Amino acid sequence: MLPILRSLDSGELVLGALLLVDKPQTWTSFDAVNKIKNLVRRKYDLKKFKIGHSGTLDPMATGLLLICTGSWTKKLHELQGLDKKYTGEITLGVETDTYDAEGKTVFTKEVPALTTEDLKNLFQPFIGEIQQLPPAYSAIKKDGKPLYESARAGKEVKLEPRNVVVYAINIIDYTHPKITLEVHSGSGFYVRSLAHDIGVVVGCGAHLSALRRNAIGDYSIDHARSMEEVTKTLAG
């Protein structure tokens, strides 16, 4: 496990460090990285500054983002493949083209009567080593281009199932038509696809209406800094 940067005012940030950031909603992961890059360059009068992140979060999602700076960008490969923990909300009865709240509605349908026990049984087949179809609107590259570029251009996107691992799915609450759950998965798993697939199984459609990443491997959101704190400190 790589040590976490203790002070934003430390020269470690320039030389090489691991920074844990709580990504805000509507920001892309690139937005967060680019903001920090520009602030550091101005603060230390640098022409160039290496920075990168591991584990992209969708703009709608919030939560833990691992960012390496300086010489530590070479250590990003050590952070790839770590398991993830999320808290998410699935809304039944509305399917979208992106599988989340940012997409266009494909259809709506009445949600059948369900109990929490029914939902536990529905989620059971999604636990373990499974094959999952990723969303068409994803950053997965095919022929060198992200799938979302083809999807946004109206081109047909041929999705291929991928082997993923889900360690646990715990239902926290079910208040019709929303399911709040915790997901512990391996790398490469899409909670958006889980939401979509549950909608297919229930027969009423569904989408991911909220998502927060709480942990990546042994790194916790509890040790992350808000972008507000990062911006205020580096701009000062």
Residues belonging to the active site: 58
DSSP designation for 102: T
Write the CA distances from 225 to 5, 47, 59, 75, 219, integer angstroms: 10, 25, 18, 20, 12
Cβ-contact 89, 175 below 8 angstroms: no
CA distance 194 to 97: 14
Write the CA distances from 230 to 56, 139, 233, integer angstroms: 19, 26, 5
| Residue 48 φ/ψ, nearest 5 degrees | -130, 150
Six-digit token string for 91:
């809304």
Write the CA distances from 143 to 107, 150, 151, integer angstroms: 31, 11, 14
